[in-house]
Amino acid sequence: MMPDMQSSASVRRRLDPESYVLERLTKHFGDRKAIDVLRRQLCPYTSSFRLDELDVQFKDGSQMRLVLKDLSRDAMVEDARRVRPEFLYEPRREINAYRWVLPYAPQGTAAWYGAVTDGAAGRYWLFLEQVDGYQLTQVGNFGTWERTAAWIARFHCSFSPHWARQLAERSGALVYDEDFYWQWLRRAQRFANPNPEARGIIERIARQYAPVVKQLAGLQRTLIHGELYACNVLIGRQQDRERICPVDWEMSALGPGLIDLAALSAGWAEPKQQALARAYYSATHHGPHVDGDAYPPPEFLTALDCCRLHLAMRMLGWSDDWAPPREHAKDWLAEADRISRRLEGCS
């Protein structure tokens, strides 16, 4: 396990960014690998926070490609800074996910090369392997989607409830509890006020939301990604095998594993959603291989619907001046309405 690369001396904080990166990586690799050339350029796939690609050339002739993710508040993209709920910002959460949690994940996640956590300077940098691959959204083979559902199921099963709680506390993960679920509903109610149609739908959902929250709060919690939408999963190759690599662990949390399955299956029609549910359920109950004949029981599907409804509330309650990015774009209000009515029929 790699140690964090800490900096507390003010003289270090005054270094320009390029020199600071070079100093940190040189300290990390030490005498084993002397750096000869370091090239840094903005990554074209920057989303909420600035991403830089680092091409590192060592004096022995070897090379390495890294990614520097800048989780500092000043490095947040303007649109994200404007609309992201303030209570969600914690720059150390993703750093600690790589440090404490992902070493126990199934094979595939990006290798971690340390971090800078300098609160006095407001600097939070994460150094990762640059993974070559495509977003899952660009993969047409549905079998890869099913294997991704099985991967996240195995990740969830990597932790006992007690161990998950310990790691969540250590890493500063978000905690899904009753207050957390109600908070998103209240935000959705507030932002729907100017729209009579939206207000009517959400108020109807609110009147029936207590059983949903009770169901969600009663689900076993584990460590979850928190935003396992397909755009946050890279598919590549590793040792001539398919590589499933979830990225962007900024919202890692202690919560129901089905939250991740709900995010992964968002946007698919019901038959495909059912197939992903079977892949997930099979991996949690029948070992590492996907068994298409293992159909989840009704209570599993009801719990999954509750998680889907929560995600819809979260989208609707994100900001009053925000629309989901293209990869998340769908009629979340209609989705919430449809799922809530289905849950009413199950009560």
Q: Which residue has the higher pLDDT, 6 or 207?
A: 207
Neighbours of 90 (CB within 10 A): 18
pLDDT at residue 192 above 60? yes
Classify strands 134-135 and 241-246 as parallel, antiparallel or unpaired.
unpaired
Kindly tell me if the per-residue pLDDT of 1 is higher than 80.
Answer: no
d(CA 173, CA 179): 15
Per-residue tokens: 223: 């460590």
- CATH 3.30.200 in the chain is located at 10-129
Of 227 and 330, the structure prediction assigns the larger pLDDT to: 227
| CATH hierarchy code of domain 10-129 | 3.30.200
Which ranges in the chain are annotated with CATH 3.90.1200.10?
134-346
Can you say whether residue 2 is alpha, beta or left, with left for phi > 0 and alpha for psi between -120 and 50 degrees?
Answer: beta
The residue whose two tokens read 């399955």 is 261
pTM above the 0.85 mark?
yes
Instruction: Check if the beta carbon of residue 145 is closer than 8 Å to that of residue 264.
Output: yes
CA pair distance 158, 109, nearest whole angstrom: 14
Q: CA 132 to CA 47: how far, in whole Å?
A: 17
CA dihedral 323→329→332→334, nearest 10 degrees, is 120
CATH architecture of the region 134-346:
Alpha-Beta Complex (3.90)
91-96 average pLDDT score = 97
Q: What is the pLDDT of residue 194?
A: 86
Residue 112's contacts (CB-CB under 8 Å, 6 or more residues apart) are 2, 98, 99, 102, 126, 127, 128, 129
Q: What digits encode the pLDDT tens for the residues 282-311?
A: 999 865 544 456 789 999 999 999 999 999
pLDDT of residue 82: 86
pLDDT tens digit sequence for 27-51: 778 777 788 888 999 988 777 899 9
* pLDDT on residue 242: 96
Kindly tell me if the per-residue pLDDT of 11 is higher than 70.
no
State residue 78's pLDDT score.
86
